[in-house]
Structure 1
Amino acid sequence: MQKIEKYVIISYTYLIHNPTIMSDNEKNVSENDTSLNIKQLLSNNDYTNIPKVGDVVKGIVVSVTKSEVLIDINGLTIGVIRGRELFDESNENAVLKPGDEIETTVIELENEKGEMELSLRSSGHQKAWASLQELMKNSKIVDTQITDANKGGLMIKIGQIAGFLPVSQLSPEHYPRIPGGDKNKILDRLRDYTGKTFEVKVIDISETENKLIVSEKAAWEEKQHDVISKYKIGNVVEGKVTAVTDFGVFVEFGEHLEGLIHISELAWQRIDNPRDIVKEGDTIKAEIIAMEGSKIFLSSKKLKTDPWDNINDKYKVGQVVFGKILKINPFGLFVELDRDIHGLAHISEISDKPVTDLSSIAKIGDVKEFKILSIEPKNHRLGLTLRSTKDVKGAIEKSEKKEKIETPKETPEPKPELKKEEKADVLDEKKETKEGDDESMKKTSSTKEKASAPKAKANKKAKK
């Protein structure tokens, strides 16, 4: 109770000497009415509702110096803001002057001078984050200043709260499309935005994590909503190529709208590099094939006649054709038959023998003779095989070498095949011939024995 009485006496004394900050009711109190009962003041909740540490209180600026600001807290006591507590993240109290009404946070009820210690930093921090929450909740567009950049995006500030603007959340105007995706060049482009002001929306926030993420693209989409709504799928647009990437081409058309022509929608034939058929600055026509919010997808091949519609007039299954190897993949060869029609020779159709390394059989740019296995106009597929054909050039070279090294040999005429009955007769003849041969051999042997007998007897007599 003693502290409350102290604040009431201070309050009353201060009020009667500073009538400019008194309420209308309080002004009715005369300066000469010194008989005002203190007990009556104590019974008034306006004078006995003493703030606690952490409370946010309103007050009137009494004086301002470089080092501190004195605040009258509802005529109850004098508060002081000094040092780092003068920093206000909400940026609302950047310039204070006597008579201004401000909100502060109580950080100490009484300091060494008997003053209430107050903070703009704490109350400003709370107000700043509450304001950001409100911006995100209402999806409002707000200006933000770019303070720095890294490879992932831009560092920004809203008021005194630092945040981040990712590269993926930049508008088409500021998105750094660098050929080849050189990270150092992208960073240089991003750093060019330092000091500039972008319009953004708050898309993610966390006071506890001190996280603030904003999107320029979201703000741009809202502004372009009415413009985008004028276009529908099937519309044909004409625009300027603003960037060429490995996956497609970006085209600016209409009122600063931008669409993407994917590499698969540039032409009917297979394309490995969009830069082979289009370059930055070219004017191109395309058809809108899909729309997802502000994302617009285009197709230039839709405006051209599909060469696969009449493919059966040019090619037939079983036809032998010459094709140029465009690409070698682990699963087969991509082959160009003509400017518009490409086919695939699967690895299983390369050779009769198992193939493990296609590069040992073909190289990019080689022209080989293929046979058409299948044609699927609807799916834009054409199957080829090398199994029943040979490399024409290779075949000529091999045949020339064989003519020089090898000489032709006469081949015996094949004997006519015998019937079963004829085979039996032949076997009988062979058997009889064999038996006759055996008899003659026996007779010859007997004759030889008889002829040699007298000679043997003569030899015996000579020995005796």
Structure 2
Amino acid sequence: MEVILAKTAGFCFGVKRAVDTVYKEAGKENVYTYGPIIHNEQVVSDLEKKGVSVLRTKEELEHLEKGTVIIRSHGVAKEIYDLIEKKGLTLVDATCPFVKKIHKVVQKASEEGKEIIIVGSAEHPEVEGIRGWCNGKVEIIANMEDVKEMTLSGPACLVSQTTFNYKKFKDLVEIISQKGYDIEVCNTICNATEERQMEAKSIAANVDAMIVIGDKHSSNSQKLFEISNKECKNTFFVQTLKDLDLKPFESIGKVGITAGASTPQKIIKEVHASMTEKSFEQLLEESLVTIHNGEVVEGTVIDVKPDEIILNIGYKADGILTRNEYSNDSANVDLTTVAKVGDKMETKVLKVNDGEGQVLLTYKRLAAEKGNKRLEEAYENKEVLKAPVAQVLDGGLSVLIDEARVFIPASLVSDSYERDLKKYEGQEIEFVISEFNPRKRRVIGDRKQLLVAAKKEKQKELFEKIEVGMKIDGVVKNVTDFGAFIDLGGADGLLHISEMSWGRVENPKKVFNIGDKVTVLIKDIQGEKIALSLKFPEENPWLTAEEKYKVGNVVTGKVARMTDFGAFVELESGIDALLHVSQIAKEHIDKPSDVLSVGQEITAKVVDFKKDEKKISLSMKALLTDEDKAEE
């Protein structure tokens, strides 16, 4: 008898992730799953033996006082999450990422006022969970009759149960589209489900009998039976080997075997072995030779060299993992520092026979696949990731998440222009995935939006606490000819050249350097613009000027600037006085520059003081007259 076993048979990514999650929690006190973690009695029974109980109703959850509640792979309604949080229980979410994606789609569509159409079985827990994320009208359809009875009053969004029959889904969508409704169609059937169904159909069309292994409550297993039965009337649906009657197969030449996404490999292997007429030794030998390119295998390290790891993978030849296939950063890796004899390693078969009978393995490509799954989840959940910069490229940065590469374009590295990206090399940075398309090898990271969001939050906090007249500390961020921009910790303020001193500032760049710490006064706030000043009111030199520069006082100052009609003399920072050209000497002077120079120190007499106008007039001539009088 020839037996064909489907390559896709058994746990899918979401189911394996959920089951692994529960087994990690098993053994702790008070661990529960909300509903069976998957539709497989054997797995659920084994978990119960390990102390994991199943909560089957909302009422049972409401009576819990403490413990850990694991959300099953099918997902649950939003109210269940809210209830777990309200009761203060520990939540572990094992919802399949593809189901989680549907929750977000329908929640968003509902908030936009759209009606929701769910293609699937109304009694299935996944559909019940999806429905629990909808607000407003929801239609659930599973066949043509449901479509006929469906009524829509406005725009709608259509999604599907991840395990629904793909061909049936396409047929239903085609009929609905002919009705002229305004519907956004989202094909949310899982890729693994689609591949499994297509493979089952192909195998069933070319065998004399077909066996579908799966739990009786498993929707995807039932769909596989329906698809297989259409192609091969001699199709059998079994849960375990005990349900299989071998007599009908005695005269059959070719048998196909597939299994649902929630069927453990152990059960599949038992059924597969029972369909052969070989001895245990022969079955063992067969298990040693049924590896294929692209298959994931677990092996034990039996030897390690600096440039290669040798593993026993249960095959007639050992597996070879070279340095180049261990990591993308292989140039500086000594493999003896990362693995030792006896270690267990999961790798992927790159080539079953390299021409010398050796099996070539890859670790980095398997890690990259897992990394891509991780990145897809992060993309869907808008999760903030953190990773070191692996490489600085001409157009941006390259980071690695479990050997999966993420490219961050230079324009998305920072919220301001970065001239030199080399400073980021080896630095650990945070980012989100803004675009995910692994088929085109296009996975784009975005650091800029995190910085912008953080800056907006800081800006909001800053504007809530500042007000005109307040003093605040800041750091000089940039210096221009007209002023300096001060980082106030959330927003920048402008310190104009005219506000830098009570006196005159010729060039801000001679006063400030980038990075200087300053305490400034908030002069004005207009929207997001902040005007700053260093002219503190209590330091205003005019407060004491009336006494220091009253008429008749003799003062000393430096010539600051000159005009044709006189010279302006700086008496102190912030106070200039006018020395009119007629008051420089007894004799006639055409212009001040004939006898004075900028920076020259002069002594003169105050002849006029106007406080309100902040004007002081000086006379050198008056001092000369006083000297003449003294000589007489």
TM-score range normalised by the length of the shorter chain: 0.3 to 0.5
TM-score by length of 2: 0.30
Q: Which has the larger radius of gyration?
A: 1
TM-score by length of 1: 0.39
